[in-house]
Amino acid sequence: MVKKHFGTDGIRGRVGEHPITAEFMLRLGWAAGRVFSRDGRGRILIGKDTRVSGYMFESALEAGLASAGVDVSLLGPMPTPAIAYLTRTFKASAGIVISASHNPFYDNGVKFFSSKGEKLDDEIEYAIEEELEADMQMVASDRIGKVSRINDAAGRYVEFCKSCFPDDLNLKGMKIALDCAHGATYHIAPKVLAELGAEVIEQGTSPDGFNINKGVGSTEPAALIALVKETNADLGIALDGDGDRLIMVDAVGEVVDGDELLLVMCADRLASGELKGGVVGTLMSNFGLEEALDGLKVPFVRAAVGDRYVLSELLLRNWTLGGESSGHLICRDMTTTGDGIVSALQVLAAMVRSDKPLEQLKRGMQKYPQHMINVSCGQKVDLSSHSEVADAVKATEKQLAGKGRVLLRPSGTEPVVRVMVEGEDDLIVSTLTKDLAQRVADALS
């Protein structure tokens, strides 16, 4: 079966264009309510990031859920991982996140969490899509869902994050530059770090509904690099708009990506005897991570791109540590989904325990040059049906002579094909990526 609306990470698109409209969100709320109330009345939590359209979609989802007979609890602006955590602790039927993650303000979307705080199984997403095709009928007046607000949601999550940092350690004497992307962590992350003893220098903590991810955050690290250098901070922490992605900057101003952060966390847990099993990466994980883990004799496997697939692989193997180079990192012994704040605390704990700066801890990995170009495709495409694309890939692989990788991947959230080439020589890799991207674009045009 092919999903009509759900992609790799929920439903996402341009506000005002189907399906990111108030009318669709009303129907989506009703459809989800129908599915999640099959075993009883049900209660669903709704949180959102800081983009202006979130208020409109919150109201529409709330109305749809209530009309299906489901009780609704509103959380207000909260990070995606916070909604996963609160869904579990409140024993709710599901959690809904209104967010487009690292996208600009004019995009938005919806993500769901199960009662366990995990991404939905495909079967449930299919069930919701099936209900979306049905005639919308409201329950009887005496069965309409009730709506309430959880006023202490932020405080609950702050305390949870702090509990993920070792009790015998603190951040006193550490100066941290923090970039919250004007997103959902703006009122959470500064408190967590400050209450653990750090001196926090903030940016990206003044959301106005339109500035989320604009020139700041994990996808725009230049502003954080400048802040780290300007303030002589020990390191920088950059989160994305919904708080599930983490990128860091070391004291010399170099970006430390998800692969490098995974290695730092893995090495720390290995040294303390806390590492369980191996590490799960993705098809996009740098080969340097695989080599470094092999040197530590730590097993490594690649999952499909997307944190839901990383989590699935972790559950299958009963491992606890995995993530993506983009900064979606999962510490399954602490939480059920990618969490930027919790992941940052693990790296900070490694720094404190080892008494080493981040720029030294990351040296265990030699990154291979990796270039990626997004090729617009306008719609979902089946690359296997284009023989000229397969020929172009083979030609590129031949030029790499067994010392690199080629990956073509249709995005689950954007109408693009991601063309990635990885190898030993940066100039050669860059040239090959451009050539391959052009051949893919020509084939898909």
- Rounded to 5 degrees, what are φ and ψ at 64? -65, -45
Q: In whole angstroms, what is the distance from residue 180 CA to residue 17 CA?
A: 28
- Rounded to 5 degrees, what are φ and ψ at 47? -130, 170
- Rounded to 5 degrees, what are φ and ψ at 178? -125, 125
A 10 A CB-CB count for 315 gives 13
- C-alpha distances in Å from residue 43, one per residue of 3, 6, 62, 118: 25, 22, 11, 16
- Among the residues of 111-249, which ranges form H helices? 122-132, 153-163, 189-195, 222-231
To the nearest 10°, report the CA torsion of 375, 377, 381, 384: -40
Report the relative pairing of strands 246-250 and 235-239 from DSSP bridges: antiparallel
Look up residue 293 and give its two tokens: 């883990």
Q: Does the active-site annotation cover 101?
A: yes
* Contacting residues for 47 by C-beta, under 8 A, at least 6 apart: 74, 75, 76, 77, 78, 79, 80, 82, 83, 86, 95, 96, 97, 98, 153, 184
Terminal CA-CA length for the chain: 26
- Which of 53, 101, 218, 285 is catalytic? The answer is 101
Look up residue 345 and give its two tokens: 């605390």
Q: In whole angstroms, what is the distance from residue 392 CA to residue 387 CA?
A: 9
Looking up tokens 């989802």, which residue turns up? 61
Cα Rg of the chain (Å, integer): 22
Catalytic annotation, residues: 101
